[in-house]
Amino acid sequence: MANRKIDPEQNNGALRIDRLQTLRETHGWSQRELSRLCGLGEAQVGKYESGLTDPTATSLKIIASVLDVSTDYLLGITDDPRRQIDPDRLSADEHQVLDTLRRESWPGIIRLGAERISK
């Protein structure tokens, strides 16, 4: 495969190399360590960061999970690194807070909080 020049800040649906590298370094991991944590070949993250190859969808999902960010953030689709919340993992109280926020906005949250405190 021929080497290709990649702009690390590109936003065309390809892996944002700068984000991958920054997140990895923030965790204090080497390329080899992140590869191992993701169950990839030991040099694979290095290949991604150098632009030699792109991760598969499955590998991208695993990397995002290990780095605790969304795949959309790694792809440059969004600047928000937070992952979506899995509704099945929310407690009944958390569902109530979200439902109240959506229906009544912040005044509803304040009301709900006051009700909880008074109990």
Give the span between the Cα atoms of 77 and 15, in whole angstroms. Answer: 10
The CATH number linked to 22 is: 1.10.260.40
Residue 75: which H helix or E strand, with range? none
Q: How many domains does the chain have?
A: 2
Per-residue pLDDT at 6: 44
Residues 44 and 6 in one domain: yes
- pTM value > 0.95: no
Tell which residue, 18, 36, 28, 32, has the closest CA to residue 81.
Answer: 18
Neighbours of 62 (CB within 10 A): 17
pLDDT digits (tens, 9 = 90+) for 91-114: 999 889 999 999 999 999 999 999
Residues of the chain with pLDDT under 50: 1-8, 10-12
Residues 70 and 92 grouped into a single domain? no
> Which tokens sit at 66?
């290990």
Helix 57-67 vs helix 17-26: angle between axes, to the nearest 10 degrees? 40
Cα dist. 23→40, 63, 110 in Å?
17, 10, 36
At residue 80, the pLDDT reads 85
Q: Which domain holds residue 47?
A: 1-83
